[in-house]
Structure formats: structure tokens, C-alpha cells
Structure 1
Amino acid sequence: MRALTVRPGVADSLALSDVDEPPPSEGSVLVDGLCVGLCGTDTEIVSAEYGEAPPGSELLVLGHENLGRVAQASPDSGLSAGDLVVGIVRRPDPEPCAACAAGEWDMCRNGKYVEHGIKGLHGFARERWRADPDALVRLDPGLTDVGVLLEPTTILAKAWEQIDRIGRRAYWSPRVAVVTGAGPVGLMAALLGVQRGLEVHVFDRVTDGPKPQLVADLGATYHAEHLPDSKLEADVLIECTGVPSVIVDLLSLGANDSVTCLTGVSSVGATIPLDIGGLNRNAVLRNDVIFGTVNANRRHYEAGVAALAAADRAWLNRLISRRVPLADFREAFARKPEDVKVVLELGAAG
């Protein structure tokens, strides 16, 4: 069968390969792959910045944002042929740390977890794949067109869960949220903020294309100006770009008792002038919290399903700017200015 692969550590080794059928050892449920979403993580793996093949394999099948349909499942799995499913990306380490053993593998303490399409497990960019029932989340058939957005949504479901938990350390009545970046992650951050009834402001540098209208149609406010020029004081701040200068600007916008969540992964080595004393002074005197978050566990997948189900399907569909057949994978990786989310179709159309 066909799969999109790389040779980890070898830059630009992206290829459409013929690979073996998934063995039963990968899971008791056989899934027909429908599509995968592409993101910056995939691009970085293709560039050989990181990525790790499964033991004994020279290739890594890409694809962590996924959607599939059950082809075969045992009666005791809780799943049936035809069910729409998403595979959970991260799996606990073989001898779980305390966090993994508790089902909080997104908070793994020893780093021995594995991740589909990223670290030690083949991904979902293949025509068929397998998983055990506990590694699958079932979706309503009505989400067929947009279910591939679930994995990025889970990242924000976790972020908002932790923001809510931190906020409840004391009196907590947030009103204004700021999101930096209007890519898929930023737009999902904004969606979940609007669903919570907050006044949401999204900052991005583009002034045309689909992003400003997508933000407006959420009922949020789009900003293309320099972040500090807005004079906003936000109760919740979610950073989705990883750009160091944006992060520094964001840390100046918090209201008293604000919570700032960093989701964007920065490149290392960048240096910019920074008044760390001023940032520390403000954080201490305002009771601010700044934290980072990555990945998601099953609870966040279920929260993500609920968020997608409550969202406008037409709006979600507009996030998917291109659907590209698997055979045209190089076109899918060629970024276009109007792209928000590019999806690679794995089925017969591919």
C-alpha cells in the first residue's frame, strides 16, 4: 500500500513509498485512512530537524493529524465497521511513568513516550493503519468533512482546560482573551474562547486572504497592528506563533491576575533585547501566570470533539484551504499565501 515517508535525519527525503500492510501488532482495529492534515511539525521533520523511525525501520510514515474509517473491529472493541475515528497521536512509554500510567501521557515525565508520525511510531499518512480501541476516538458522521481538524483542536482543548484550572486558584472572571497567530491553532484557540463567551482578539500580520474574515465570522476581532499598539489588557493570552518578538510583546499585555499560555514552539538561537527585570516585576506584582503546553490526552480529544460539534460546520470547512490527492503530495507541501490548513486525501481520490 502507499504511504508518505521520510528517512529521519535525511533532509528532503519525502517520498511516496510502497509499504507493508499494518501488522496486527500495531492494534486490533483496522482503519482505512481518509486524510491527514499537514502542519509545521511535518515540514520540520521533512527538513530533518527531528523525527524518529520505529525500531527496526529506516523509514518513518508521516502524518499525525488524521481521520479514518473503521474497516475491521472485534465485537468487544466498542467500534463497528464504518465508524469515523481519529487516532490519538501520543502513546505512553512501554514502562509508564506515573503520569503516563494515569492516562496523562501528554505530561510524560521521562520522555520515553512515542508519537505517531513523529517519534518512534509510524504515522497515519498511509492507506490503512491499525490501533487498539483505547487509542481511537469516535466522531459523529456529521464531522466527516472536518474531523481531520480534531488533533489541532485537542492542543487548544488542553490549553483552555489548564487556563481554567489555573484561573480557579483565586477569584476568576475572565472577560478578554488575546490570541497571537491566525493559523489553524490560533483560530481554534479563538473558537474555544468565543465558545466560552469571551471577548476574543486575534493578532496576525496579514491584511488580506481568508484569515481576517474567518476571525470576524467567529465574532472575534482581527488585528494586524503591532501588538502593544492595541493597548489591550487581556485576562487570557494564548501564543500560537513561537516568534520570540511576539512572545515578548504578549507578556506585556496581561491584566492583573492574567494567565498566559505558550503553545508555539520557537526555533532556538534567536536573540532579542529583553528587559527580564521588567517582565519579572510585572509578573510578580500582577500575580500573572505564564505556562507552556504541548500535546493532549484522551480527555482533550473528547473535549475537542465537543468543540467541533458545537462549531459552525461551514466555518470549519473554510479552515481547510486545499484538499490534495496523496499522489500530489509535493503540491500539498508547497505553501501558498492563502493557505490555512492543507489536507492530504488518502482514499481512492488520492
Structure 2
Amino acid sequence: MTALSNETDFPVDRAVQDAQRVMAQRRAGCPVGHVHAGASHGEGWLVTRYDDVMSLMTDPRVKRDRRNVPEQDTGEGHESLLYLDPPDHTRIRRLVNKTFTPRAVEHLRPKIEQLADELLDRMAEQGEVDLISAYALPIPMLVICELLGVPEDDRADFTAWSEAINGTQDDPAVKREAYAYLEKLVADKRTRPGDDLLSALAVAASEEGGALSETELLHNAELLLVAGHDTTVFLIANTVLALLGAPEQLAEVRAEPGLLPAAIEEVLRYDSPVNISSQRWTTEPVTLSGVTVPVGQPLLVSVMSANRDPARFDDPDRFDTHRDQSARHLGFGHGIHYCPGAPLARMETHTAVGKLIERFPDLRLAVSPDALTMRDSLLMHGPTTLPVRLS
């Protein structure tokens, strides 16, 4: 394969619509290289091999908060878990972790099961549906509303607001309305806390390591909305898509539902909902695959590419629900930024996919797989729509 060299070798549009192929080319020909990655990621050093990606996730020379990078310090930062380093990250993560306990996750299961059954009943009345809008989207949206403590009366508008914040709704007026609503929600949790994660963060006592500022609360509410919502939508969709593309394995999972958790783990590796994660920054020169990235440079790590690295996984382009899980995937990250909502995302996906394939044994794609278009994002990876026939 011809060696790749610079940003001209990185076609952003193809990296969205044909992500696996483009990342495979980068991984083989230019595993570490400077690219222009479009509006969502800007310029940076794209890193595509598993060992390099894994090492960057725990390298103390690599930071998430630009304020900790002298060459990049603008005095401003995004004060959510995703963009913080210790000790601020440790302080907020400790509070968030108290919400994502096994007991707390199980507390949400009955509501998720009830919603899934209601959605499936509605779908059963139709011969063909878009599985994302009809099913994969409403389930994570319910969970986010529960976590943020969104009042029942506001939930009908919340989908549009969430789309404005995560970038899929490009209406400035709606975006302003969305942020205004989040600001009001945060203020309400300060004065009238409820039994939800945002309230717990809002009333955090000083003995927990310091109360959160208004900016921290707002930014972490935004993070929960985007990271906790989009990733699960695409994990559900990508799991269904992978199983429909492997009929024999789908039949095995239907016959033995206990295989579904392993299938979900394989999807997290085979077709990760995250492609290129949020930027990290070098505070010292870092050498990866023989390439030295200078100090003060943004790093763009491709989780998707790492999860298909043949140096780590045997026959990585094959979807295999019986794959040995000891060669762990990076679908939820690694190190201190490992996704705190991973148990919840797994449970949502298990419930949604399990009920779907049980209810509709003749479920199949309504279009050719080649006709599917991917979300216009280098961060998230999944189809914009997923037309399926139910019988």
C-alpha cells in the first residue's frame, strides 16, 4: 500500500461515509500523521493503531484540558469531564460515579423495558419503519431525561433541543433556546433538587471535594446530553445492523439470548459508535509508531481504527459474536476517561435489541446496506436512518 503523508491524504467526506476503509488506509500507510479533520475536529495528528491509541489514553504527557498546555492556553476551557484533567476531573468524576452504580442502572431498567414494549407495539402496526427515529432514539432520550431530571411537560421539546446541542439541528434559534433551557434547568436544580444526577451535582457539598460552579454544571449537563445520548443511539443501531448482516449469528442470539451481551461487546469493537474521539494535547514531545509529535499539538485518536487493528485482533474485519474478549476493545475508552455510563449504555442496548429481535423474527433491512448514509460526523459513527421491514 502506498504510504500516506499529509492532510491532502485525508478525505473528510469519505472518512465519514466510508470510515472503516479510510481508517484502514491510514493505519497501514500513515498510522500517525497531521490532518485537517473538518469543522468538528480541526487540525491535529491522527493516530490509528491500537497500541498508540491505548498508550495515549494513559500517557501523563497528554492532556484533555487546553489550559494545561502552555502553547495552547487561552484561559478558557470546557469544564466537563471530557475536557478536564485531575484534580478537577477527579472531583467531578467521583460525584458522577455515584450515579452509575449497578443498583442505579438497574433502577432504570423497568422504565426502559416499558418504553421499549410501547414503541414495539406502535411499530407492529407498520410494515416498515426507520428504526432510529421509531426506536433507537426514544430509548436513550428517556434515560437522559431521567438523568437530567427533565420535567415530563418539557420532554416533548427536548429531542429538538438535544439535536441543536449535539449539532444535528442547525438552527441557531433552536440552539439558543436549547442552551437557555439547560441554564434554567441547572438553576432549578440548585433551588429545587430532585432525585436525579444533575440535582446531585448541583447540591454537591464541599466535603465531596468542592461544589460545582454554574459553568461546570452547564457543561456537564451538555456532556451527558450528547455523550450519553448519541453513543447509545448508534450502539443500538449498529448492533441491529451487524446482526442483520450476519444471519447465522443472529439466529444463534435469538435461540440463546445469553449470547447477546457478547454480541454487543463485539459491536463495540467491530463498528464502534465513536470514530475519532475528542482532542487531546501533548505537553511534551510524544513518539508514536516512529513519528514524534511536537509539544502543544492536538491529537485525534481513532477508536474505530484501533478496534480494527490486525496487530491486536485476529481477522478484525469479521463480525464474530464468539470472539475472545481478552483482547479488549476501546469502544468506551480507557484510563481515567473511560465512559462512566458504559454499564447503562450496555443495559439500554441489551434491552432494546433483545426485545426487538424477539418481537420481530422476520426483521430485515428495507434497503441495501450500501444505500445507508452515515451521520455527518467524525466523532460519532452510525447511520442517519435505518429502514427495516418488520415482517
Answer whether TM exceeds 0.5 for this pair: no
Task: Output the TM-score relative to the length of structure 2.
Answer: 0.29
Question: Which structure has more strand as a fraction of its residues?
Answer: 1
Question: Which structure has more helix as a fraction of its residues?
Answer: 2
